[in-house]
Chains A and B, each alone.
Chain A
Amino acid sequence: MCVVALVLPLALSSNARAQAPSTGSEQAAGRGAGSLPTARANAPIDLSGYWVAIISEDWRWRMITPAKGDFPSIPLNREGQRIAEAWDPAKDEAAGEQCRAYGAPGLMRGPTRLHITWQDDNTLKLETDYGMQTRVFRFGSTSAASAARTWQGVSAAQWITAAGGRGRDGAPRFGSMKSVTTQLRPGYLRKNGVPYSASTIFTEFWDVHRQANGDQLMVITNIVEDPDYLQLPWITAIHFKKEANGSKWDPTRCDARF
């Protein structure tokens, strides 16, 4: 008899996405005839809102601009090292390249706040006050090959929904976002000229952890793969704390020196 009961939770689970709470527009988008649920309706975690970086790691390399040639922890190859040791911020300024340290792989480790919103039902937008950058994450099929190279590149995103975390009967939903960013304009992993090339692939896993006191932490596991300047993937994790509002949002332009 319990065989029936064994099947029941699976059935509940398979219907979970359709039953999950969503806004009116999401319902319309998600339940129309023949249409697929939107990324927004399917979101197992809520990344939207204001988040502030907690610089509790690598402080000397993230909060301030380290000395030229100071690049421990990064598995540079010989060419990457050569370029890092030739860093000249004045040259970057003269070339209009003062945002080189604000490309996605370097920016995310910077002392920044993030403002994440839904641009549309399948596009997540991330803005930073540090360097005033904007990156969009597109869910579903997207072609990056023909896109122009930019500091923020082209980010393809997908949800990874955890087993048992699909929000059945109002239960919490669990999961992660995986994003893969390509078409990056060459920039710096660190403010002091540690380079990444146009060949870079930047993969991120986004998790949100709710604390017992209600605080929320966003932890992003990053993988920077650069066949031109790295010997191995540069793998790190960073964390942000959710803020109630944007009262501390303070946009500042790119700065090649500080």
Chain B
Amino acid sequence: MNGISLTRVVASVCALLMVSVPAFAQIELSGSYAPRLYEDYIERGPGSDLGDFTGMPMSDEARAKALLYTSNIPSMIERQCIAQSPWVGMYRPRGFKIWSELDDAGRVVAWIIGGDNLRGTITIWMDGRPHPSPNAIHPSAGFTTGKWEGDTLTARTTHVKTAWIRRGNGIPASDQSTFTIHITRHDDLLTITTIQEDPFYLTEPHVVSRVWQFDPRGDQSQEGICNTAVEIPYLEDSGLVPHYLPGQNPEADFMIRTYNIPKEAALGYAETLYPEYRKKIRGLYVPQPSCDRYCCGWIERQGLPGGAPNLSCNDGGFGVLGPRGRRAIGK
């Protein structure tokens, strides 16, 4: 083999290696991000209404379990610090920080999303390692691997713990839940899409897309600060697990009587997620004559950092962040 052809061979091999080696970092994700609570504000701000399962493709089993839920459950000492789903941030008002772990060659081995008191720090392994055995331990953050698809970081999370899917009203998820996650940065916006599948509690993949914005002050990651305390005296050392018996949840029809929402929509049937459902309820749904609770959402934050000055809004006294809510808390 002469020198020229050897050069060609080596160059070709090197080129092939470079082409085939996974891209370790397409774009820089590091930084702090603040949430933009311009969707599902009630859930992500003051908290979900009980019995509000709208937008969810729930199984009958999930519905039955969710309707046993009472908001006293998280007040039990042994349940106050149970870690929530690693991707529960999609339903919470929290910012976070992302950083990378590098190997000796400076390549990104993992992207890290900082956790908080109720959510474990998520490590997205980028080094090609496989997911562990199905029988391996399920840590609070699950196990996540990722790869770049262009400028989108696509990740997959398995090995999660049993947790609630959304925030604060008992929609269950099993430890067999898996997540596919797409993280895309456009300018200073970070869009995260999660596709959750659960063989027990979801009848189809549950898709949610949210936006965060790069903000040096946006990080709200906090570790190890979940302190337990007796919140409901009668539960202390009682052995009681708060719950509603099947068919006895007084909030099961809350959304129906409060917003005139059809029962199948309030209780999370998959058909209600698609346009044809709207046509099915034409003539059946009648909006309330006026709004009387949580009407203004974001505007309730007036007077708080980033809020709008000199605005008033009828929130019916329910918005804990609103002026009346703050006064009530102060009493």
In angstroms, how far is the closest chain A Cβ from the Cβ of B91? 10
Q: Is B67 an interface residue (CB 8 A)?
A: no
Residues of A within 8 A of B110 (CB): none
The answer to whether B180 touches A234, judged by C-beta atoms less than 8 angstroms apart, is: no
Bound Cα distance from A114 to B289, whole angstroms: 32
Bound Cα distance from A1 to B10, whole angstroms: 7
**Chain A interface residue count: which class?**
35 or more
A75-B19 contact in complex given A56-B55, A207-B182, C-beta closer than 8 Å: no
Instruction: Select the stretch in B129-137, B189-197, B233-241 that faces chain A.
Output: B189-197
Bound Cα distance from A70 to B191, whole angstroms: 26
Q: Is A28 an interface residue (CB 8 A)?
A: no
Closest to A257 in B: B287
Closest to B90 in A: A57
Q: Mark A156-190, 1 if CB is under 8 A from B, else 0.
A: 00001011110011001111101000000000000
Closest to B184 in A: A207
A162-B26 contact in complex given A63-B272, A205-B186, C-beta closer than 8 Å: yes
Q: Mark A1-37, 1 if CB is under 8 A from B, else 0.
A: 1101110110010000000000000000000000000
Which residues of chain B from 117 to 176 have any CB-CB distance to chain A below 8 Å in the complex?
Answer: 148-152, 154
Q: Is B285 an interface residue (CB 8 A)?
A: yes
Q: Is A72 an interface residue (CB 8 A)?
A: yes
Instruction: Select the stretch in B74-82, B98-106, B295-303 that faces chain A.
Output: B295-303
Instruction: Select the stretch in B33-41, B216-224, B242-250, B323-331 that faces chain A.
Output: B33-41
The answer to whether A64 touches B281, judged by C-beta atoms less than 8 angstroms apart, is: yes
A211-B193 contact in complex given A5-B18, A53-B275, A72-B41, C-beta closer than 8 Å: no
Bound Cα distance from A75 to B311, whole angstroms: 11
Q: Mark A195-238, 1 if CB is under 8 A from B, else 0.
A: 00000000001010101100001010101000000010011111
The answer to whether A78 touches B193, judged by C-beta atoms less than 8 angstroms apart, is: no
A64-B14 contact in complex given A1-B7, A221-B186, A237-B191, C-beta closer than 8 Å: no
Residues of B within 8 A of A44 (CB): 150
The answer to whether B39 touches A67, judged by C-beta atoms less than 8 angstroms apart, is: no
Closest to A68 in B: B290
Q: Is B256 an interface residue (CB 8 A)?
A: no
Which residues of chain B from 32 to 77 have any CB-CB distance to chain A below 8 Å in the complex?
Answer: 36-42, 45, 54-57
Q: Is A99 an interface residue (CB 8 A)?
A: no
A66-B182 contact in complex given A74-B38, A205-B191, C-beta closer than 8 Å: no
Chain A interface helix/strand/loop/mixed: mixed
A73-B297 contact in complex given A9-B19, A64-B261, A162-B26, C-beta closer than 8 Å: yes
Q: Mark B5-28, 1 if CB is under 8 A from A, else 0.
A: 001001111110111000100110
The answer to whether B14 touches A2, judged by C-beta atoms less than 8 angstroms apart, is: yes
Q: Is A104 an interface residue (CB 8 A)?
A: no
Residues of A within 8 A of B213 (CB): 235
Closest to B37 in A: A73
Bound Cα distance from A162 to B186, whole angstroms: 11
Q: Mark B240-284, 1 if CB is under 8 A from A, else 0.
A: 000000000000000000010100010000001111111101100
Which of A130, A192, A235, A252 makes the CB contact (< 8 A) with B211? A235
Which of A69, A73, A223 makes the CB contact (< 8 A) with B290? A69
Closest to B300 in A: A72
Residues of B within 8 A of A81 (CB): 296, 299, 311, 313
Residues of B within 8 A of A113 (CB): 275
The answer to whether B313 touches A112, judged by C-beta atoms less than 8 angstroms apart, is: no
Q: Is A71 an interface residue (CB 8 A)?
A: yes
Bound Cα distance from A66 to B39, whole angstroms: 14
Residues of A within 8 A of B182 (CB): 207, 209, 217, 219
Bound Cα distance from A69 to B154, whole angstroms: 39
In angstroms, how far is the closest chain A Cβ from the Cβ of B35? 10
The answer to whether A174 touches B208, judged by C-beta atoms less than 8 angstroms apart, is: no
The answer to whether B308 touches A231, judged by C-beta atoms less than 8 angstroms apart, is: yes
Bound Cα distance from A162 to B191, whole angstroms: 16
Closest to A75 in B: B298
Which of B12, B191, B211, B308 makes the CB contact (< 8 A) with A207? B191
Q: Is B203 an interface residue (CB 8 A)?
A: no
Residues of B within 8 A of A59 (CB): 54-55, 265, 272-273
Residues of B within 8 A of A75 (CB): 38, 298-299, 308
The answer to whether B11 touches A60, judged by C-beta atoms less than 8 angstroms apart, is: no
A63-B56 contact in complex given A69-B290, A207-B184, C-beta closer than 8 Å: no
11 A-B contacts, Cβ less than 8 Å apart? Answer: A5-B11, A53-B274, A67-B288, A70-B291, A72-B42, A73-B39, A73-B298, A77-B311, A111-B275, A217-B195, A235-B189
The 5 closest A-B pairs by CB, nearest first: A174-B150, A72-B297, A5-B14, A162-B150, A70-B291
Binding site for B on A (CB under 8 A): 1-2, 4-6, 8-9, 12, 44, 52-60, 63-78, 81, 111-113, 129-130, 160, 162-165, 168-169, 172-176, 178, 192, 205, 207, 209, 211-212, 217, 219, 221, 223, 231, 234-239, 241, 248, 250, 252, 258
